[in-house]
Structure 1
Amino acid sequence: MPSALPLGDHAPADGVLPPQAAVGAEARGFSLYAHIPFCTVRCGYCDFNTYTAAELGGGASQAEYAQTAVGEVRLAARALDASGVPRRRLSTVFFGGGTPTLLPAGDLAAILGAAVGEWGLEPGAEVTTEANPDSVTPDSLAALRDAGFTRVSFGMQSAVPHVLRVLDRTHTPSRVPEAVRWAREAGLDVSLDLIYGTPGESIDDWRVSLDAALECEPDHVSAYALIVEEGTKLAAQIRRGQVPDVDDDDHATKYELADAALGGAGFHWYEVSNWARGAAGDAPQDRRFECRHNLAYWRGGDWWGVGPGAHSHVGGVRWWNVKHPRAYAARLASGASPAAGRETLDAETRLEERIILGSEVMSVVNSEMVHCGPEFH
């Protein structure tokens, strides 16, 4: 099941932030994260804040979710205005989950449209949605592009059937290149997510997945080591001896294989788990394919997180929403902020976080070597 929210201070019902949030805001970028908490099935390794239809219960409607999220977008605009935070155009927008594309394209377009109506988009803004390969069609991808999306990130995970089965993924390997082709035809940039170190995955299996991903000619690849979280189905299977445990040495070997394969194919490494096609450094923005939304996190930018369990950060003030879609919808229906708690960081703590988190992430952008880390839990 999803992990617990952090402890924190009281978050006011009107969502208004302390004065610190407005200081220096003009110099910071502004982004939006929209959490879509729905999945067809719960993958055995997943402890994200996601829900299947059977887990939702009464009072939480997938069909009404878009309008509920639009309600938080409207509240966000009011709260930031009341906090004295100047309105800035969105530089990046990211729809994550869950499986955002379980909602109709029109619902995602409605949430994006509300955000653009409040803040606007910077020229060339990056607008991404995550998707499972079997949750899209040519028509849905074209509709997303028409709505303003520029990028899709597919959860490929593996190209090996027995590995996908262990991970409880619902798509077949052949669906990935098909979905990528549709996205290309729609005019979208493409990222592929991979997972390595799944119990029972051999070195040769991992090579197959890397080769299959590269054959799709994506713009960006994320490769994540599988972490077994307590409370998940996979953790229980390992504890019962049904599948072998993960192995750190295996992870290290597969990471090195990924870096060699992706580097040899012309991708540059710019963060621990991410590689991008195209030139880095001072290349024009339209020739670079790093995930700019993630870079905004690592650089300490401002973002509002919409959705149950979503986290936000503005000027050293962090807050997080109630987790269940039912509680989230009830808060907004009553006119209250869905925030469950928040924390306000002092200057010393913010500096310490930058130093600590910066040891984990390296990004080469804008002809600079930038050491930075994500400003979220």
Structure 2
Amino acid sequence: MNVVVVGGGLAGASAVEELRTLGYTGDITLIGAEPHLPYERPPLSKGVLLGAADPGSVFVHDHQWYDDQQVDVRLGSPVTELDLDRCHVGLDGTTIAYDRLLLATGATPRRLPFPHPGEPVVHLRTLADALYLRPRLTGHVLIVGAGWIGLEVAAAARQVGATVTVVETAPIPLLGVLGPEIAPLFAELHREHGVDLRLGTGVTAIDRGRAELADGSAVDADLVVVGIGAVPDTGLAAAAGLAGDNGVLVDARLRTIDPHVYAAGDVADHDHPLLGRLRVEHWDNAIEQGKHAARTMLGDDAPYVRMPSFFTDQYDLGMEYVGHVGAEGADEVVIRGDVEARVVTALWLRAGRVVAGMHVNDWDAIDPIRRLVGGPADARSRDRHIALPDLVRQP
């Protein structure tokens, strides 16, 4: 059997490693559009951007590992053709046949909806982006979008002494993810660190370093960082009829409608057995879906049921989140701890189940949160006087 992995990110690297760990000895080809070996993205907006982490530390494995594992790595080689009938991919004027194909092409940053030629506008998605940004976080930095990337860049910029303005169309940063109960905590955190939050408005134009806002105000910036989300990189899959509106459509086992093709990571629109169809753009999901896709390729028929999770580090705040509230929202949010001191846990409850949980600066809480999410919610779950570890024990 010949396995081809299209996508040189964390999902692809995890799949390759799992295949070899499970004893697969056939051919593996890993194809990446970037010139770098697969690497982890979370440090890009944290340690690498701050200069606290060596850029070389982000790589999953070095060249020698891939050589030792007999993996044919093709870097800087975007795949331009996917032929499902002949089971091959095309790149650089050549074709590579496959028996099993994993699409792990990731996502690309959303762009501003208006032209800005010659303006100092950048995104943070790749290692090259982080290395470009790091020495330029000076003067006045304008960040468009107060999602996770935008706020992490804001924290990094403030920590190196830049003046920072963040523009966000929502009334509170992270409102759609954390809801009105928890999201204000992050707004206050950034205000305390001197970030100028311009909320409920957006950028309508950028001209010669001056950003015009929808509320009639303007911001003069030396650098504009855009963090308004990402879209799945489905060009290859869409041309082959494998993509929907929100990624490559896969079933519970990460299989596409083609029996030879699978998808994992940021690009996979997964039919989760417990949560329904969703696409997740986080570190943990890339690792675990990559591994699961490898197992499915080798004949494992188990569905992928792991709950999504993600984390962030901003200033002296660390947060970990497990689960998925989704568009339906929650019936109730149960908060334990001290919000003002920013040592907090929260459980999101809906229809008698714990659908998500998180902690802020309460590092011992993540294990019980993982055990609670997806399980039943009852009167004990709502009792704020019962510590989380006690909730996972029988009364």
TM-score normalised by structure 1 residue count: 0.29
The structure with more strand, counted as a fraction of residues: 2
TM-score normalised by structure 2 residue count: 0.28
Larger radius of gyration: 2
Higher relative contact order (CA 8 A, sep 6+): 1
